[in-house]
Structure 1
Amino acid sequence: MRRARGAVDAAAVTLAAVEIPTVWSLIGPVELVLYAGTALLLLARRHLPVPVLVLTLPAAVTGLLLAPMIAMCQVAYGTDRRAVTGVCSGLLFAVALVPWRPAEAEVWSYEDGLLGVISSALLALGPTAVGALSRTRKELTSRIEELTHSRERERELLARSAVAEERARLAREMHDVVAHNVSLIAVQAGALRSTTGEDAARQTAATIGELSRGTLHELRTLVGVLRSGSAPGPVAAGEPAPEGPGLAELPGLLRAGGDHVRYEGAAAGRRWPAPVERAAYRIVQEAVTNARKHAAGAGVTVALRDGGAPPAVPAGGTLVVEVRNGPGGAVAPDGERPLPSSGFGLVGLRERAEQLGGRLEAGPTDDGGFVVRAALPARTTAQGR
């Protein structure tokens, strides 16, 4: 911006100075200094438009009009008061008439007078109109930009409103459908536990009831998040977030998974930021569920360890979560339908890791099993919860 203004100022001074050679043979040293000073005055026209115009008018008396015209254009462009612009334009018109005055021995005809008036009017009104049009164009551009920003804000508000309505609809559906079915599961599990006489069936019913109650609790939390209208986005490791399960709840989750799940929680004793623990819990939950669906009866090993501090996270440490299962060997009972799968489980886990600045890798192992490994960095400023 400064370079552009400097170039325009240099062009204005040069244009005004170009007129000096046209009267070179008719002026003396005093007039030359006056004209040169008049051209240099244009450098101050942005800050003092009216004084600069007044100081350039003496040059207009001698017939040099480019400098006053440039100053008049700046007055019309930079002054928002029409009265000031009109007075300055009238002054320039009056001064521009001076060179047209007839000499004492000269007979001045009506045509000469009319030509002088028209020429002076054009010299005064021309730069005034150019400056006013430039000012109007600037104002219109500013208004168009404001309208564009207003429309963008309106679109953003409409999008947020649509998101809020969709969140509310999802919250209602989840509460009315999922919560109802899960509540029935919990009731049926309680009834089974009360009526059966087999210890294994009672234990299974107790596990189902515990899982149902935990699911209802998490569902209520999720419905509350949807109702609150919090915008989704990247989450910093130390940023406060809604309450949710963490590493302390992992043993209970894995116990419900059966005896074939082995837990190695070497890093569970350390206090990690709440978003990191929540992401680790969800990764383990999804990976163990996938292992039960796709490799029934296979042994599952869940390992948590501190991966150290990478260069991007000095002294913060990295929680490494690894869930590994062997090849599936059990066959589903006859008539039992396979559990439904959305196909977005690993995608969601990868997004969770990336929101924390980490990464997640998943793929088959050499023995025919599957491994999910995630590295979740913790920030130095968020060592506690």
Structure 2
Amino acid sequence: MTTGRALWRRVPRWAVDAGLIAVAALDVWINLFGEATTFMWACAALGCAALLLRRRFPLAAVLLTLPMTLFMDVAVAPIAALYTLAVRTRNRPLLVGCALLNAAGGTLAWPLSDTLSGDQTWTLIQFVYALATAFAPVLCGQLVQARHDVARQLVEVEEAREHERALHAQSVLARERAQLAREMHDVVSHQVSLIAVQAGALQVAAKEPDARDAARTIRTLSVNTLDELRHMVTLLRASGGKETELTPQPTLAELQQLIANSGIETTLTGQLPPDISTTAQRTVYRTVQEALTNVRKHAPGARAEVRLWHDAHHFGVTVTNTAPTRPSVALPSARHGLIGLRERAELLDGTLTAESTQQGGYAIELRAPIRPA
């Protein structure tokens, strides 16, 4: 089945459209052969040609196929147009209305006086059958649309899982680094310090010059090793703990790259004071990062706006997104991201607000007092 689907996707769209129009024309020719007027042929030609518009203007294609249903029992062109409209729109009332129009066109006879003067019960039965025929492509199109949504959601879930796995791996690595830093500080550094002290005592107490030189060398190497160990402990704690952050951390210079790599249609406006601290820059960066991550997880298809701002006493960033254009998957969340952002804001004596907008989107705003770097 996978191979068949792959082969079908390789067929050019123009070839599919040409084949569909050919089948629709054959359907018209069978129904109109020997008893058609020029006007009927014109309506039939219009309906078949409308299939060329079904991908870009599906509603127009449906409306242009309606006149031909008044004169003939054609099925290919109206069904193809209804199916395409059902695949490409989420407006259920519109689909119901188009199906009703198609059923009415297939039931009414031209001229209309023939329909009104005929057996009304039989006309009603014909309408029910025509309505069922019209709803069949609509339901099939909605099923295909639902399948596409599920496939897209599965991809988004897998991306979210990959992101969670990466975060978990980073967390495990950070804990291991912090534990290693503690071990190096409490055990290795302590032992090297004792070696340096004992070498210094030996250097003072030794009588022979060679012994004093050896003790001096041991003490010097011990002191240098201790300095290296302290530097390594500092770096390990910076990458694995919460007390220090001496490893390279993102700042406002990387904000544009973060937005470009987010996969979300995002606009960046405004600017911040040039003299804010690196901690404040890092907090702004993390706020934007978490907000865009939430948009990607909970509002697929939405657009976002990142607005940097400041006044005489405060600075901040506001990240706003529109309503999602596609159904989102209900992913488990403990809201630790927002909790962490609020903690970062409190460290700056600021506040963080997160709330829904009237347009169905979401807004996150960081506000903090200006402090020189």
Check the 8 A contact 1:96/1:123 in 2, yes or no: no
Equivalent residues, number: 232
SS of residue paired to 2:184:
helix
Deviation at 1:142, TM superposition (A): 1.6
Distance between the aligned counterparts of 2:214 and 2:52, measured in 1? 89
Deviation at 1:179, TM superposition (A): 0.8
Distance between the aligned counterparts of 1:61 and 1:213, measured in 2? 98
Q: 2:163 aligns with which of 150, 153, 159?
A: 153
The equivalent residue for 2:238 is 228
Residue 48 of structure 2 is aligned to residue 35 of structure 1: no
The equivalent residue for 1:97 is 107
- Comparing both structures, which one devotes a greater share of its residues to helix? 2
Equivalent AA in structure 2 for residue 74 of structure 1: T
Residue pairs, 1:67-216, within 5 angstroms: 67-99=77-109, 103=114, 108=119, 110=121, 112-216=122-226
Distance between the aligned counterparts of 1:54 and 1:105, measured in 2? 24
Q: 1:57 aligns with which of 52, 56, 66?
A: 66
SS of residue paired to 1:25:
coil
The equivalent residue for 1:251 is none
Q: Tell which deviates more after alignment, 212-221 or 6-15.
A: 6-15
Distance between the aligned counterparts of 2:11 and 2:163, measured in 1? 33
Check the 8 A contact 2:66/2:78 in 1, yes or no: yes
Distance between the aligned counterparts of 1:99 and 1:135, measured in 2? 34
Deviation at 1:191, TM superposition (A): 0.9
Structure 1 unaligned regions, length at least 5:
231-239, 242-385
TM-score after normalising by structure 1: 0.54
Residue pairs, 1:182-331, within 5 angstroms: 182-229=192-239
The equivalent residue for 2:27 is 19
Equivalent AA in structure 1 for residue 26 of structure 2: V
Change (3 A) 1:113 1:167: same
Structure 2 unaligned regions, length at least 5:
1-8, 241-246, 249-373
Deviation at 1:96, TM superposition (A): 1.5
Deviation at 1:74, TM superposition (A): 1.6
Tell me the alpha carbon deviations over residues 99-119 of structure 1, each in whole angstroms, 9 at most, x when there is no partner.
497948986373x33441232
Distance between the aligned counterparts of 1:223 and 1:2, measured in 2? 58
Change (3 A) 1:125 1:186: same
TM-score after normalising by structure 2: 0.56
Check the 8 A contact 2:185/2:233 in 1, yes or no: yes
Equivalent AA in structure 1 for residue 25 of structure 2: A
Equivalent AA in structure 1 for residue 51 of structure 2: L
